[in-house]
Structure 1
Amino acid sequence: MVIVFLLSGDLKTGQAKDLDKANLIIFHAGSLAGPFKTLEEQFEKAYPDVDVLRESLGSRLAARSVSELDKEADIVAVSDYRVIIDILMPKDTNWYLCWASNQMVIMYSENSKYAKEINSNNWYKILLRKGVNYGHSDPNLDPCGYRSLFVWQLAERYYQLPGLYKKLSQNCPSKNIRPKETDLIALVEIGELDYVFSYSSVAKQHRLSFVKLPDEINLEKIRLKEDYKKASLKISGQKPGTYTKVFGEPIIYALTILRNAPNKDLAYKFISYLLSKEGEKVFLRSGQLPITPAIVNNLKYLPKELRHLNLVSN
């Protein structure tokens, strides 16, 4: 049996399909690369006849790889449940599970300019200083990209600083915007960027320092969902030349098994493992809070093979 995960858009270095094993193909958000690598290793140990390969992409690009490019996959796991609704439903799937959360932070290294000075109260002042370089991922390809801009919009309201969003946007050139948030890590490590808007789990997994933002702007708290909705952005739609409007919401990760998945039996087993106590531990160690019980959009459409799991319907 084989589970296919493609990392950073490419097959893992030196890895080839084992023709004696079955294949399970999984496209996942870049911010899931760390925990999914661990899940892969544990799952392959439990199922020696399985080979796991991963493709790590911005969540919207991962979904479009299926819906527009007709790439074959079994599971798609994204950092925003709305990606599944907007891009994969109803053609490629009719259900999804929400199982993890996160929060936005500002990631940096010890060599970043003003690293010893930046904090949750002055971060925007530091970013706007001359010579400071900061970046984020592409909003059209990756939810972390539009969430970064939501943080800026919410910060303008929270700190009562009219024009802050515009200033932060104008001071972030296009060369500082990359397809997914994990593409920016190396730029921080080598000093090309001083600061990057990312998830707390990514910073923790890569042992980078980060500024913890106020709950009012970090997109973590369910209780603040109405306040988060005050931020919005137009991003590219499903069809070329079209646009869709997204609003700020608490960060919720989701996954689904595709309608035409070539190896559904393995996909059921993998998701069952991901939602097990062992799977929960993986995400906790990776700095991500599991949502327990996991939430399914509609129990009516959930495959019977997953109905033994501890789930609730939203």
Structure 2
Amino acid sequence: MKNMRICAILLLCFCAAVMICGCTGTSSEQTSPEQGATTATATPAEKIQVKVFHAGSLTGPFEKLKAAFEAEFPNTEVLLEPAGSVDTIKKVTENGKPADVVASADYALIPKMMVPDHADWYLTFAKNTMVLTYTNDSKYADEITAENWYDVLDREGVRWAFSDPNSDPCGYRTPMVIQLAEAHYNNDQIFETLLGEHSDITVTEENGTYTIHATEPNPDSTTLTIRPKSVELVQMVQSGGLDYAWEYRSVAVQNDLEFIELPAAIDLSDIEYADTYATVQIECKKGDGTTIYVGAPIVYGVTVPEIAEHPEMGVAFVKMLIGPTGQAILTEDGQPPIVPAGGYGSIPAELTSLVAMKA
């Protein structure tokens, strides 16, 4: 009996000790010296995640812009998600993925695919140029020029590539450049030699307009390779897996690639040749059907979608992009900024001082 009483006393002492510890030593509460009251310890605030969906060719400048933005807004974390511009926009319009910023390598995709249901404004903010990239180890690197590039690509053993016309503007612009080359070089076999013989991409002509059919490219993957995004081809050229790849000039500059600068009449860079560029168009897949992209100068566009979770931060990111910081970054990366940016639709008030409104 005595032993049982001792055990009971010890048990009561143990329980009391546990209760005392539970009320003091493990508490996460503190007394506020200002209020004289007990309050819970604050946990560090989570950063606002600013989601930016963008064309792959903007990866270099946008990584720099991300660093500048996070420095100015330390409560944010910019999440960059590159892809072909068509796929970038589809993430929002078809998959319902929220983005705070959408930036396309073809500004015309925004009014075509997003306005009015997914966005009510957009800006044009940068230009670019189509070039043919290579390294000093590429076959015939010491011979290729702006006058013979199409002959070099047709030589035995040369491997070249571009991105998927159905996913990426750089991809649908490449066949346009090749078709435009026929008139410029007075050679009506360039398209057939480079594309017709190595893929299922074809072209038809009616009343002076050439329509390229690229819904099912099916490259031979020996001479011609096609990948979803143009930036995927950079490493293949650098590693020697490809001799040449079609890219934007900015991508070549950012990755220290050699490149052939083409005549303005075919490189899609100059508004003076807008009517010439418009003589070619390309048919690509869109959902269960098809769509037509018409040749035009390369102009980049940006918007904040209606589905944005943090639209105010999206607008702030765009403001930095079109302001002095973004202009300097784009210039350094070989991508001429449009100053002031061109504005369409219901431009947010925060941006109007940096924008020239267009019809």
Q: What is the TM-score with the length of structure 2 in the denominator? A: 0.79
Per-residue CA deviations over 1:69-105 (Å, capped at 9, x if unaligned) read: 1111111000001211222122111221001000000
Compute the displacement of 1:174 (Å): 5.1
- 259-268 or 29-38: which moved more? 259-268
The answer on 1:218 being equivalent to 2:267 is yes
Question: Pairwise mapping of residues 10-21 of structure 1 onto structure 2 (< 5 A)?
Answer: 20-21=46-47
Q: What secondary structure, in the 3-state scheme, does the structure 2 residue paired with 1:39 have?
A: helix
The answer on 1:84 being equivalent to 2:131 is no
Counterparts of 1:303 and 1:111 in 2: how far apart (Å)?
Answer: 49
Compute the displacement of 1:19 (Å): 6.8
- Residue of structure 2 in register with 1:8 after alignment: none
- Residue of structure 2 in register with 1:284 after alignment: 331
Q: What secondary structure, in the 3-state scheme, does the structure 2 residue paired with 1:297 have?
A: strand
Question: Pairwise mapping of residues 156-175 of structure 1 onto structure 2 (< 5 A)?
Answer: 156-169=182-195, 170-171=197-198, 173=219, 175=221
Counterparts of 2:101 and 2:242 in 1: how far apart (Å)?
Answer: 33
C-alpha contact 2:52 2:80 (8 A) present in aligned 1: yes
Q: What secondary structure, in the 3-state scheme, does the structure 1 residue paired with 2:66 have?
A: helix
| Unaligned residue ranges in structure 1 (runs of 5+) | 1-17
Compute the displacement of 1:310 (Å): 3.4
- Residue of structure 1 in register with 2:233 after alignment: 184
Counterparts of 1:163 and 1:118 in 2: how far apart (Å)?
Answer: 19
Give identity over the alignment, percent.
Answer: 38
Q: What secondary structure, in the 3-state scheme, does the structure 1 residue paired with 2:46 have?
A: coil
Counterparts of 2:168 and 2:134 in 1: how far apart (Å)?
Answer: 20
Counterparts of 2:82 and 2:258 in 1: how far apart (Å)?
Answer: 23
- Residue of structure 2 in register with 1:142 after alignment: 168
Q: What secondary structure, in the 3-state scheme, does the structure 1 residue paired with 2:121 have?
A: coil
Question: Pairwise mapping of residues 1-314 of structure 1 onto structure 2 (< 5 A)?
Answer: 20-169=46-195, 170-171=197-198, 173=219, 175=221, 176-237=225-286, 239-240=287-288, 242-298=289-345, 301-314=346-359
TM-aligned CA distance change 1:77 to 1:19, over 3 Å: farther
Figure out how many residues of one structure are paired with residues of the other and give that number: 293
C-alpha contact 1:128 1:171 (8 A) present in aligned 2: no
Q: What secondary structure, in the 3-state scheme, does the structure 1 residue paired with 2:108 have?
A: helix
| Unaligned residue ranges in structure 2 (runs of 5+) | 1-43, 200-218
In structure 2, what residue type is equivalent to 1:209?
A: E
Q: What secondary structure, in the 3-state scheme, does the structure 1 residue paired with 2:176 have?
A: helix
Q: What secondary structure, in the 3-state scheme, does the structure 2 residue paired with 1:211 have?
A: strand
- 271-280 or 109-118: which moved more? 271-280
Q: What secondary structure, in the 3-state scheme, does the structure 2 residue paired with 1:246 have?
A: strand
Compute the displacement of 1:137 (Å): 0.4
TM-aligned CA distance change 1:19 to 1:150, over 3 Å: farther
Which is greater in Rg? 2
- 88-97 or 285-294: which moved more? 88-97
Per-residue CA deviations over 1:25-64 (Å, capped at 9, x if unaligned) read: 1100000000000000011111111111100000000001
